[in-house]
Amino acid sequence: MKVISLNFLTCAVKSCKSSGAAFPLHPKDAELVQDDIELNAQMLLNILPRLDWAALRTNATELGFPELPAELPTREALEADEKKLKDLHHLLVETQIMEGKLVCRNCGHEYAIREGIANFLLPSHLV
């Protein structure tokens, strides 16, 4: 699972959906793998405004990445600074969590990630 996808995932428990504490999920014991993927600048620039930037900052720090700026840099700033865009590409698209857990801070449930695939099926007492 790529870091970018983490930005669109939340707890599957119904009563957590309305809780601010359920997003983002927090990686735990995460084993990261870095892939070499060609940068698609147009695609990335279009995706960036769709991210919840505060959640991304939280997850990036949790995964051991350098702290991101408080605000999403503007499109112009990123177009003018290829290094900045490449760093984001590296974090969002090239980094994946292969093994570990995703923890919901509202209900405490931990979702396992194995071979890059998170399992969101709920035990019967949480359905």
Partner 1 sequence: MTAGTAETSSSSSFDPETYESTHVHSVYEAIAPHFSSTRHKPWPLVADFLASLPPGSVGLDVGCGNGKYLAVNPSLWLMGSDRSANLVSLARENDGRGRRRQRLNEVTVADSLALPYRASSADFAISIAVLHHLSTRSRRRAAVRAILDCLRPGSGEDGRNGEGKAMLYVWALEQGSSRRGWDEDASQDQLVPWVTKAGTGKTHKESDSRKPENDTTWHRYYHLYRKGELEEDVQAVGGVVLHSGYEKDNWWAICTRGLEM
Q: How far is the C-alpha of 60 from the C-alpha of 112, rounded, in Å?
A: 19
- For partner 1, the binding residue among 2, 26, 84, 90 (CB under 8 A) is 2
- For partner 1, the binding residue among 20, 34, 64, 121 (CB under 8 A) is 121
Which residues lie below 8 Å from residue 66, measured CB to CB, with a gap of 6+? 60
The pair phi, psi for residue 117, each rounded to 5°, is: -115, 120
- Between 9 and 45, whose beta carbon lies closer to Zn ion? 9
> Which among Zn ion, partner 1, none contacts residue 75 (Cβ within 5 to 8 A by kind)?
none
52, amino acid identity: D
16, amino acid identity: C
Q: Which residues bind partner 1 (CB under 8 A)?
A: 1-2, 4-5, 7-14, 17, 23, 35, 37, 40, 42-47, 50, 52, 111, 115-122, 127
